[in-house]
Amino acid sequence: MAVTTCESSSPPDDVGTASGVGKCTIDSVRLAELHRVHCGRLYRYFARHGARQDADDLVQESFARFAGMQATNPGKQVDRPEAYLTTIAVNLLRDRAKAAARHPTASHIPIDEVALFGSDAIAALEARDQLERLQASLARLSPKSRLVFLAHRRDGISYKEIARQEGLSEKGVEKRMSKAIAHVSRARAAF
């Protein structure tokens, strides 16, 4: 939807007329004013929340939804249009996140784009040496601390879920993680 400033004598096709003589309606004037006032704020909101490349489109979609609401409810006046636009913006980002979760992007990487690990023999040996030291460091942890550390860091399990699975309190999981992280950090510093 194109937002007009209503300066032309004839409005675009998607903006109604007040009396059929080519003047913009109050709603289109109000929408243009809202766009002028809130466009930058919405753009910054979308950019701040990780949608910088799509911010322009999301701003336009916000105003399109606002205009669509007014078109379907012609008698309804929105008391706080800036709050309504913010709600639309929040919902757009929420819808976008849900869609991304339902349809994750392909994680396939062509083999030609993968750097071969063993192409640099010295780097491969150093990496293997570091891995062996890390494994030795983890072996020195208590079995419960090692399990908590690996469950969280390797498997991505939350503290709450680890606590439930292992019969620990969340604070107990946090304490074991802190000790394990400190232990691994000390061991890595010695590398």
Same domain, 92 and 120: no
Separation between Cα atoms, residue 184 and residue 138, nearest integer Å: 7
Are 33 and 70 in a shared domain?
yes
**Predicted confidence band of residue 13 (pLDDT cuts 50, 70, 90):** very low
Which domain does 46 fall in, by range?
26-102
Dihedral over Cα of 69, 73, 74, 80: its sign:
negative
Task: Specify if 52 maps to a domain.
Answer: yes
For residue 110, pLDDT over 80 is answered with: no
Indicate if the pLDDT at residue 25 is higher than 80.
no
Q: What is the pLDDT of residue 98?
A: 82
List helix spans (H) across the chain: 26-48, 55-72, 81-102, 121-139, 143-153, 159-166, 170-189
Whole-model pTM: value is 0.43
On whether residue 10 sits in a domain, the answer given is: no
Would you place residue 169 in the very low, low, confident or very high pLDDT band (cuts 50, 70, 90)?
A: very high
Q: Are 166 and 147 in contact (CB under 8 A)?
A: yes
- How many structural domains is the chain composed of? 2
Amino acid in position 152: H
- Give the separation between CA 92 and CA 90, rounded to whole angstroms: 5
Locate 23 and state its tokens: 């003047």
CATH, residue 166: 1.10.10.10
- State whether residue 79 is helix, strand or coil: coil
Q: Work out the pLDDT band at 112, boundaries 50, 70, 90.
A: low
